[in-house]
Structure 1
Amino acid sequence: MTDLIHKTGARAGTEDARMPPPGITAMIPCYNEIDCVERAYQEIQTEVGKYDDVELLFIDDGSTDGTLDAIKGFAAVDPRVKYISFARNFGLEAAFSAGFKYASKAWTVQFDADLQSPPHEIHRLVAKAMEGYDVVFAVRENRRDPWYRKLGTWAHQTIARRWLGIELPQGASVFRIVRTSVARKVVDSRLSTPYFIATAPLIGARYTTLPTEHHPRVDGVGKWNLRKLFPHAIELFVGFSFRPLAWLIGLSAAAVAGGAVISALALAGQLSQLAVGLAALVTSLVTLMLLTVVARYLVRVMRVQAIGVPRYQIREANIPIRADEALYGHETPYVVAEVWENVS
């Protein structure tokens, strides 16, 4: 099996390839994963525990089913277990953004609580990263997901790469190892869309992909569906390319020119009322499409301007957290002012 599918940037020298295993944060975002979280903890800590300097950082994304209580149980008996619990469900992007920000080790491995990407593959990701990469994305071999998820991922990544000129590692998943300092640059970039696999190449991170095993979900219910996948793709397209806007402007210009010709023909009595009506309908649809896309770009600009709006708020944690990211401010346990001195 070929280890390398795609890469950018120069590889580091042979000295990097001989580096000892690094300090590792195993970051596990969770949202209503009570059926999976016990098994996830056991299997992840078994594999991560083979390294000397590790922590397990659970990000509870506002779960309502007892997931947080289970995580607290792990922390009570295992000092390596750290957790952050959001005030509500803020989404996966917010969860991994917090995880990268508060990871205390030099490297962070992002896992899924459903264990569809088996934890034992971490060792191959670490070995690949030690060859001189900042990010190694796992590519799921023989992906065991519903057909619409596989088709949706392939379609939106292909459109982004080939049509919109967005640099993406094809097939990259959220199972990945990232140099923590680089990950923080990504999540602190304050782009309109926190789309990690598109932002990492944008800032110049050296990345590659690695084929890894993929298993079907054993317990619990998947959180992704078509209702979430479509907006996720639109966020990528609008957040990282202006080509959709350029295309629609060209289409609008063509519609205006066509409308002028049709109007002239109608005044000359060369077209029926039905033809004129159909032409007006097409022009209205093009205008509506243009307004919709422009509105999405305006939202993008507003997000960039809204620097003071937090991506998430933390209700509780067992590690130092920033006061401005704590729902109850300084009343929240473990709140500190000098966050980077405490978590870097």
Structure 2
Amino acid sequence: MINPQLSVVIPVYNEEHGLQALFDRLYPALDKLGVAYEIVFVNDGSRDRSAAILRGQFQKRPDATRVILFNGNFGQHMAIMAGFEHTRGGRVVTLDADLQNPPEEIGNLLAKMDEGYDYIGSIRKQRSDSWWRHVASRAMNGLRERITHIKMTDQGCMLRAYDRSIIDAINSCKEVNTFIPALAYTFARKPAEVVVEHEERAVGESKYSLYSLMRLNFDLMTGFSVVPLQWFSMAGIAISLLSGFFVVFLMLRRLIVGPEAEGLFTLFAIAFLLIGITLFGIGLLGEYIGRIYQQVRHRPRYLVEAVLESGEKGNVKREKVKRVTQVVDDSVQVVAAPSKKREKAKPVKDAAHPSLFPDNQA
């Protein structure tokens, strides 16, 4: 596989029951496009048989398949980042493994890019999610746009297309926490959106809980804007002014009416309100400090256990492993673990994306 025109990056986490259906639809859909392509599957530390199924698919289609195996669960966006760093296509498409976004829609995104756009987002038509997810998504989209000024109609849809220049810019970033669609939007010269179909998840459940969605949106807002801090500063000024006026009012009332005990509960209510606002502000400030803390530690964003990819003669070209099953054409060879002496970690492409396992040349 040499210089593919299109790369498709698919993060996978506990999708053993749906992967075969994905293979059955994805490869024929890409074959119809008439372009050279590669599919980069990133197994994000699945605890089921997903990794074994991906290895088997690599053995069946080594010409168009690459597999990256994490040694733990690092999150969807870190899996996509790892996929980006291993892509070679001039255009890159991201797709979830649950088939809620049909692979047949990829051609529509590429057709839109042919019009001169460098980043294509997608808007889910007639979403098949539960009502609370639909309402929460619309609310968070509106709040996110007000805070970050990033205009994405549907931030939760990961079916997106990127020009190579956008991918290179994303790969050069060193943030530990990031939201890829928003990051791509900040780099895009001419972004656009298209409407795509949205299907119900055939098997399994969504890997995003309500808490995960809240954390994701909080990271998005604090990672792309300081507006929350500015809003809180303005709120603090407003509350300070109101508190000053209220103190003057209470002093005048005491002089005119005399001491009163009835206002005690009102004062307690106001005090608790101010305490709540103060704690919220401390928490918000802590989010920004926490991001700084994670960044300055310079820890790897993810750890790769193995990379399965085909060389010019169909052999596995590179494996980063502790122990690896190496696929060679139609046979499977077990490669022994490296020597007991641990080698020092080598950086992958740049210092921001280190890998703790050195490359083995097959």
Residues 221-251 of structure 1, C-alpha deviation per residue, up to 9 Å, x if partnerless? 2212212111111111111222221121122
Other-structure match for 2:299: 309
- Structure 1 residues 270 and 136 mapped into 2: Cα distance closer, same or farther (>3 Å)? farther
Conserved 8 A contact 1:148-1:226? no
Q: CA deviation at 1:265?
A: 5.5
1:294-327 per-position Cα deviation (integer Å, ceiling 9, x unaligned): 1112123334444x22211101111447944676
| Deviations 1:93-138, CA, capped at 9 Å, x for gaps | 1011111111111111111111111111111111111111111112
Which residue of the other structure, out of 211, 236, 244, is the alignment partner of 2:228?
244
Matched, 1:98 2:82: yes
Q: Does 1:121 align with 2:93?
A: no
CA apart distance, 1:74: 0.8
Distance 1:60 1:179 in 2: 24
Say yes or no: does 1:175 pair with 2:159.
yes
What amino acid does structure 2 have at the position aligned with 1:64?
R
Indicate conservation of the 8 Å contact 2:147/2:227, yes or no.
Answer: yes
What is the alpha-carbon distance in structure 2 between the residues aligned to residue 73 and residue 224 of structure 1?
Answer: 27
- Say yes or no: does 1:40 pair with 2:31: no
Q: Which moved more, 1:56-65 or 1:131-140?
A: 131-140
Instruction: Indicate how the Cα distance of structure 1 residues 334 and 212 shifts in structure 2: closer, same or farther if over 3 A, else same.
Output: farther
CA 1:328–1:164 in 2, change beyond 3 Å: closer, same or farther? closer
**Taking CA–CA contacts closer than 8 Å with sequence separation of 6 or more, which of the two structures ends up with the larger relative contact order?**
1
Secondary structure of the structure 1 residue equivalent to 2:267: helix
Partners of 1:112 and 1:310 in 2: CA distance = 24
Q: Which has the higher helix share?
A: 1
C-alpha distance in structure 2 between counterparts of 1:292 and 1:328, whole Å: 34
Say whether residues 1:329 and 2:319 are aligned partners.
Answer: no
Structure having the higher strand fraction is 2
The amino acid across from 1:105 in the alignment is: G
Q: Cα distance 1:175–1:250, how it changes in 2: closer, same or farther (>3 A)?
A: same
Match of 1:276 in 2: 267
Task: Give the deviation of 1:171 after TM superposition.
Answer: 1.6
Which one of the candidate residues 6, 25, 41 is aligned to 1:58?
41
More moved, 259-268 vs 191-200: 259-268
Q: Give the corresponding residue for 1:13.
A: none
From 105, 110, 114, the equivalent of 2:94 is 110
CA distance in 2: counterparts of 1:318 and 1:247, whole angstroms: 48
Describe the shift of the 1:270–1:246 C-alpha distance in structure 2 as closer, same or farther (beyond 3 A): farther
Correspondence for 1:31: 13
State how far apart, in whole Å, the 2-side matches of 1:154 and 1:63 are.
30
Residue type of the alignment partner of 1:166: H
1:87–1:327 contact (8 Å) kept in structure 2: no
Change in Cα spacing, 1:334 to 1:45, as seen in structure 2 (3 Å) is farther
Note the 1:59-74 alignment, pairs <5 A. Answer: 59-74=42-57
Question: What is the aligned partner in structure 1 of residue 337 from structure 2?
Answer: none
SS in structure 2 of the partner of residue 329 of structure 1: coil
| 1:10 matched residue in structure 2 | none
Deviates more, 1:262-271 or 1:30-39: 262-271
How far does residue 52 in structure 1 lie from its aligned partner after superposition? 3.5
Q: Which runs of 5+ in 2 are unaligned?
A: 310-317, 321-344, 348-352
1:256 Cα deviation after fit: 3.0
Q: State the AA in 1 paired with 2:185.
A: P
Q: Is the 8 A contact 2:10 2:40 kept in 1?
A: yes
CA distance in 1, matches of 2:272, 2:20: 57
8 A Cα contact 1:33 1:220, kept in partner: yes
Aligned length: 311
Alpha-carbon distance in structure 2 between the residues aligned to 1:301 and 1:326: 19
Distance change >3 Å, CA 46–CA 334, structure 1 → 2: farther
Q: Please, which moves more after superposition, 193-202 or 70-79? A: 193-202
> Larger Rg: 1 or 2?
2
Give a deviation string over 1:239-278, Cα, whole Å, max 9, x none. Answer: 1222221121122223333444545565645563222222
Structure 1 stretch displaced more, 246-255 or 123-132: 246-255
Paired with 1:54 and 1:75, the residues of 2 have a C-alpha distance of 14
Query: What is the letter of the counterpart of residue 305 of structure 2?
Result: R
Equivalents in 2 of 1:278, 1:169: separation in Å? 40
Normalising by the residue count of structure 2, what TM-score does the alignment of the two structures yield?
0.79
| 2:200 corresponds to 1:216 | yes
SS of the residue corresponding to residue 293 of structure 1 reads helix
Match of 2:289 in 1: 298
CA contact (8 A) 2:42 2:67 kept: yes
- Say whether the 8 Å CA contact 1:26–1:48 is kept in structure 2: no
In the alignment, is the contact (CA less than 8 A) between 1:169 and 1:208 conserved in 2? no
Flag the 1:333–1:64 CA change in 2: closer, same or farther, 3 A. farther
Counterpart position of 1:186: 170
Aligned to 1:318: 308
2:134 equivalent in structure 1: 150
How many angstroms apart in 2 are the aligned matches of 1:87 and 1:72?
15
